[in-house]
Amino acid sequence: MNELTLTWTEAGQSCTRTLNDQYPTQHPGMVRIGRDPTRCDIVLSHPTVSGLHIEIYFNQAKQNFYLKNLRDTNPPLINYQKLITGEVLLSLGSHIQLGQQQLEVTAVSLEPFLIPPTQLFSPNEPNSQAIFYPNPVQYGLQCPKCDHVSSYQQLNSGCPWCGTSLASAISVVLSTEH
């Protein structure tokens, strides 16, 4: 599970929140932080914090946590730099300042992003079991006219058996068995 832990002090009390996929929010996929309890998931009471100040979310494509500014007239400081618009990557030790309220990212835990192995099925056997190829597979182009398989180097030259263009040829997996 991807998690980010925020720590701050409010009214003399140390506060900690760990954000993850199961963190209950008003807007799924993002945690909004500010002073207004009707619009925010984490409410800060300091009067210099805007009603709706920032949101923190996990970007699936980039596999990291990001902070987005929601208040251009009272921008947050991230690592002592103003974030007027847009978003910024959060990492362990990131310092966030909302008005005069200080927060810090004290932990980040990211799941490894794994791509599962490719499952290949024979087109002639639709109910066959998946075949896993641990080594890289090689592909060829199957001629749309004579069904002979050529290497990708023939793409611009055409089929060496019948001369048909291979522009509309389908890619096929070449057998690794000899």
**Is pLDDT at 127 greater than 60 in this prediction?**
no
Q: Spell 62-76 as b/e; 16+ CB within 10 A means b.
A: eeebbbbbbbeeebb
**Is pLDDT at 39 greater than 90 in this prediction?**
yes
Q: What pLDDT score was predicted for residue 178?
A: 47
Q: Is residue 130 part of a domain?
A: no
User: Mean pLDDT across the stretch 156-171?
Assistant: 86
* Same domain for 146 and 99: no
The total number of structural domains in the chain stands at 2
Q: Is residue 124 part of a domain?
A: no
**Is pLDDT at 25 greater than 50 in this prediction?**
yes
Q: Do 130 and 121 meet the contact criterion of CB atoms below 8 Å apart?
A: yes
Q: What pTM value is reported for the model? A: 0.62
Q: Do 168 and 150 meet the contact criterion of CB atoms below 8 Å apart?
A: no
Q: Do 34 and 51 meet the contact criterion of CB atoms below 8 Å apart?
A: yes
**Is pLDDT at 55 greater than 50 in this prediction?**
yes
Give the separation between CA 120 and CA 30, rounded to whole angstroms: 37
Q: Is 19 exposed, middle or buried (0-12, 13-18, 19+ CB in 10 A)?
A: buried
Q: Is residue 178 part of a domain?
A: no
Q: Is residue 87 part of a domain?
A: yes
**Is pLDDT at 33 greater than 90 in this prediction?**
yes
**Is pLDDT at 22 greater than 80 in this prediction?**
no
Decide which of 140 and 33 is more confident. Answer: 33
* Same domain for 7 and 94: yes
Q: Is residue 68 part of a domain?
A: yes
* Same domain for 86 and 21: yes
Q: Is residue 123 part of a domain?
A: no
Q: Is residue 36 part of a domain?
A: yes
Tokens, residue 86 = 């847009």
* Same domain for 103 and 151: no
Q: Is residue 126 part of a domain?
A: no
Give the separation between CA 175 and CA 171, rounded to whole angstroms: 13
Provide φ and ψ at 143, rounded to 5°.
-60, 130
| Residue 28 banded pLDDT, cuts 50, 70, 90 | confident
**Is pLDDT at 118 greater than 60 in this prediction?**
yes
Domain that holds residue 54: 3-109
Mean pLDDT of the chain: 85
